A = this chain, B = another copy of it.
Amino acid sequence: MASAHPADLTVGADLTVEADLIVGVDLGGTKILATVVRPDGTIIGREKRLTKAEKGSDTVLKRIVKAIRDAISVAEVTLDDIRAVGIGVPGPTDTKSGIVHEAPNLAWSETPVAAILSEQLGVPVYVGNDTNLCTLAEFDLGAGRGATSMIGVFIGTGIGGGLILNGDLLDGATQAAGEIGHMIIRIGGPRCGCGRHGCTEALASRLAIEHRVMSMIEKGRDSMIQDLLAEKKKKNEIDQRRIRSQMLAKAYTANDAIVRRAVDRSAWYVGVALAGAVHLINPEQIVVGGGLVEAIGQPYVDKVTQSIHEQTFDISHRNLKVTQAQLGDDAGVLGAVCLVRRRLTPTTP
C-alpha cells in the first residue's frame, strides 16, 4: 500500500539540482492556461490564450508550446530552468504513455501529446485527465490534505471528478475513472450532452440550472435573473441568454426564489450521485469544487452534504468530511504540477 501523501510541498528538496521549476498547463476546450510553478507551489508566471480547437490538433499543440514559452518569459526564467511540464486535458488520458485517448471538445483521438510536446520543448512532459488532476491538486495541496481516500467533484458547465484511493489517483483500466457526472440517478430523466438520459450532469450542471431557471421565467415566474440578463443585453455582451455562475450567486444571495430552488436542487442531485459513490467506495473525504460551487460557496456544499447524509447509511457517512475545494481556477494547473512531482519522486511503499 502506498503512503498517503508525498512529503507535502517539500518535494522541491529533490528538485533543486539545477532546474527546479515545473510548468503546469490546463488545456480546456476554449482556453489554455500555462503557469510556471516553484517547488513550493507558488505560481511565478502565467499566460492564457484561446485554444482554437476548430483549427485542428497541430494548431492547438503549437498554441500550447507558445503559451508555455510566454509563461516562462513572464516568469523571467528560461526553458533551462524547467524540470518538466504537466498538462491536464479534457478527456481520458493514459498518464503513463502520455497519450490522450479521446478529447471530444478538441476532436482528439489517441493523440501522443507527451511525445510530441517533449520533442518540441526538450523537457519531459506528463499528461493527465483535467478533473483527475484537479482532484489530485486538492488532495496534495488543497482541501484534501491529510486524507487517504477522497472523491473530487467539480460542477460547472459540465460535471467531472476524480478518485484518490490509498493516496493514489485511480486511473482505471482504460484511464477513464472518475466520470461521476455520467452516473445515472434518474432513469428516464433529461437528456445529457452524452446522449443518455438521467445523468447527474444533465440534472445538476450549471447548464441544467440555466435550463430550469429559463423555463420558469418563460412560464411567467419573476426572477432577478431577468434584470441581470437585461443588463447583459444593454451592454451588448456575447451569450446573452447564458446565466453565468456569478449571476446565479448574486440572485442566490438575494434570495431569489427561482434561483434558490434551481441551485439547491442541483446540490441535492450532486449529493445523490455522491451518495452512490459513497456506498460504493466509502471514502474519508469529498471535495466539492468548480465554477458554480466557487460562486455559491458554503451553502451549496451544505446542501450536498445534507443530501449525501439522507441517501447513505449512518456508518458510511459517520466520519465523512465534505468540504469546499480551495484552489479555485488554479486547481487544473497545480494538478498538472502535482502529477509531475509524483512522477519525479514516486511514493515509496
Contacts and interface: CB of A to CB of B under 8 A. Distances in A.
Given A183-B279, A279-B180, A315 B174 contact: yes
A41 interface: no
A129 to B, nearest CB: 11
Q: Which of A174, A179, A183, A279 is the most central at the interface, judged by chain B CB atoms within 10 Å of its CB?
A: A279
Interface in A144-186: 148-149, 163, 165-166, 168, 170-180, 182-186
Contacts of A163: 280-281
Contact of A280 (B92, B171, B178): B178
Contacts of A272: 184, 187
Contacts of A180: 279-280
Contact of A174 (B178, B184, B186, B282): B282
A102 interface: yes
Contacts of A316: 172, 174, 176, 179
Nearest to A273: B276
A270 to B, nearest CB: 12
A111 to B, nearest CB: 14
Q: Which of A102, A166, A284 is the most central at the interface, judged by chain B CB atoms within 10 Å of its CB?
A: A166
A315 B315 CA distance: 34
A320 B173 contact: yes
Contact of A184 (B168, B179, B276): B276
Contact of A311 (B148, B196, B282): B196
A172 B313 contact: no
Contacts of A188: 186
A275 B196 CA distance: 12
B182 A185 contact: no
A272 B276 CA distance: 12
B311 A184 contact: yes
Given A173-B320, A279-B179, A101 B315 contact: yes
A311 B2 CA distance: 33
A194 interface: yes
A176 B315 contact: yes
Nearest to A312: B182
Given A92-B315, A101-B315, A281 B172 contact: yes
Contact of A175 (B1, B168, B282): B282
A172 B2 contact: no
Contacts of A101: 315
Interface in A33-47: none
A10 B316 CA distance: 36
Interface in A81-109: 92, 101-102
Nearest to A279: B179
A104 to B, nearest CB: 10
A277 interface: yes
A228 to B, nearest CB: 30
Q: Which are the 7 A-B pairs with shortest beta-carbon distances?
A: A172-B282, A183-B276, A179-B279, A177-B282, A349-B349, A173-B284, A176-B316
